[in-house]
Amino acid sequence: MKRAQAAIRCSSLVLAATLLSLASAHAQSPCASGEACEDKAGWASWRQFYAASGAQLGVRATFTQVERGRGLAHAFLAEYSSERYTTVRNVSGHLALHGAVGGGTAGNEGRLGGTLDFGYRGDVTSHGGPFVRIGIEGFALGNDRLYASLFEPVQGRTGYQWLTGSLLLEGGFTAGYVWSGRFEPGAGERDLSDSSELGAYGALHLRLLRVDARYMHVTRRGAVGAFDLVRVSLCGYPRFVALCSDVLYMRGAAGFGDGAVQARTAIYAGLSAALAL
């Protein structure tokens, strides 16, 4: 799992650098010194992205199960994540970032990923309407039993958004080009590079609760079968604490050392407790 170990080392460095830069930015922020700030509903809120409503810094327990594998593996990680949806004057934007590093019974483990997309939202009402956005998305996660990665330099999103204050309701479809990616369940290996992605997602964000769901269908001409990914996450925010759970389901055909190509299912689940920044 050389790729997984390289991704984990990269995750560690990026996560450490991110946390240091965020701490420095907070110390220099006019908001931190008590000076007047612009309305957080506007684009000024992006400067405080690391402390946007729902941002988390804490610990995470994960569980990895690969079909025909060696049982259930578990790990403990330090984790940071944040996400922001904003629409101002019909310009709609979405930014998400997540990273974690640690280890457990399947060796070192890490996760790193993010999404950035901007576009136009029409106004059916003063708080909602259909949108079209284009952006970039990618992630990598893995340990000694499972590795998965996807990088889409071009991804389009279209759907409907209702956004007012702390309430977000958004659902839509995605389509993009996978420039690079891999799926390695146990001893299996599959190259996801040069593929197309079609998917759907939904997000319900309230002040005390967040529910997110995502489906991705990745295909490549000449490849045997498709690669499918489903992720569902649930977060609660009692006071200044964030309690979250999520499940990532992956299935796709992979090649093995004996030349056989077989479908494999992998489940990667997590529970986290964090400070809600």
Question: Which residues, 6+ apart, have CB-to-CB distance to 134 below 8 Å?
Answer: 117, 118, 119, 154, 155, 156, 157
> Structural domain of residue 232, as residue ranges?
2-276
**Confidence (pLDDT) at 53:** 64
Pairing state of beta strands 56-66 and 261-276?
Answer: antiparallel
Q: Is the pTM of this model over 0.85?
A: no
What is the per-residue pLDDT across 124-141, written as a single tens digit (0 to 9) for each? Answer: 999 999 999 999 999 999
Mean pLDDT of all residues in 136-156: 97
Q: Specify the CATH number for the domain of residue 97.
A: 2.40.230
pLDDT digits (tens, 9 = 90+) for 165-215: 889 999 999 999 999 999 999 989 999 999 999 999 999 999 899 999 999
Residue whose entry in the numeric block shows the structure tokens 């019974």: 105
Bridge partner list, 77: 60, 102
* pLDDT of 236: 94
Q: What is the pLDDT of residue 31?
A: 45
The pLDDT tens digits for 214-259 are 999 999 988 888 999 999 999 999 988 999 999 999 999 999 877 7
**Backbone dihedral region for residue 201 (phi beyond 0: left; psi -120 to 50: alpha; all else: beta):** beta
CA-based radius of gyration for the chain: 19
Instruction: State the total domains in the chain.
Output: 1
Band of residue 21 on the pLDDT scale cut at 50, 70, 90: very low
Report the length, in residues, of the chain.
Answer: 277
How many Cβ atoms are within 10 Å of 223's Cβ, its own excluded? 17
